[in-house]
Amino acid sequence: MNITQLFNIANVYVLPFWALMIFLPKWKVTQRVMESYIPFVLLAAAYLYLFISSVTPENAQALSNPQLADIARFFADEKAAATGWIHFLVMDLFVGRYIYLQGQKTGVWTIHSLALCLFAGPLGLLSHIFTYWIAKKLFLSSGSETEEVAPKIVSSTSDAS
């Protein structure tokens, strides 16, 4: 399998996990899949393979004391770029999993944060943090992190009508 094929497979591989978290968050299959580390094993293995095969002694030394120009030269190589991209895929999916699991635990709405995380990982995390803070401030009176927010949101909106 060449680098382009591995890159393309990795891009498609993550999509079902994102789709499950965004579109079917309450489905038992989604919950079981996302509670495990299995989604990350294949991606991490692909990353390990590419990492080992793309790091040479020369660029390892350059990257040990990174300068922007050295990193730019490193990622100009197709194999190094694929390695970096799969790194993003693994980490964004892991952060998405965290957001998903936190949403399941607290009842905080996560669809917008997951969608942002899919396309721009750190922005999705930031969105989730702000959403959680706002929901906690508005709907959690006891401050208990394990208390669900969703039932309070529903009861407060039905009280207003």
Assess contact for 95 and 19: CB atoms under 8 A: no
How far apart are the C-alpha atoms of 132 and 126, rounded to whole Å? 10
> Which residue shows structure tokens 């094993």?
41
Assess contact for 130 and 155: CB atoms under 8 A: no
Using the predicted structure, report yes or no on whether residue 150 has a pLDDT greater than 70: no
Q: Per residue in 35-49, pLDDT tens? A: 999 899 999 999 999
Backbone dihedral angles phi then psi of residue 86, each to the nearest 5 degrees: -65, -35
> Which residue shows structure tokens 């990350």?
40
Global pTM reads 0.83
Longest C-alpha distance within the chain, in Å?
A: 67
Rounded to the nearest integer, the mean pLDDT of the chain is: 87
How far apart are the C-alpha atoms of 6 and 107, rounded to whole Å? 36
Show the domain range for 76: 3-160
Look at the chain and report how many structural domains it folds into: 1
- Token pair of 20, please? 């499950």
Q: Per residue in 64-121, pLDDT tens? A: 888 899 888 888 989 999 999 999 999 999 999 999 999 999 999 999 999 999 999 9
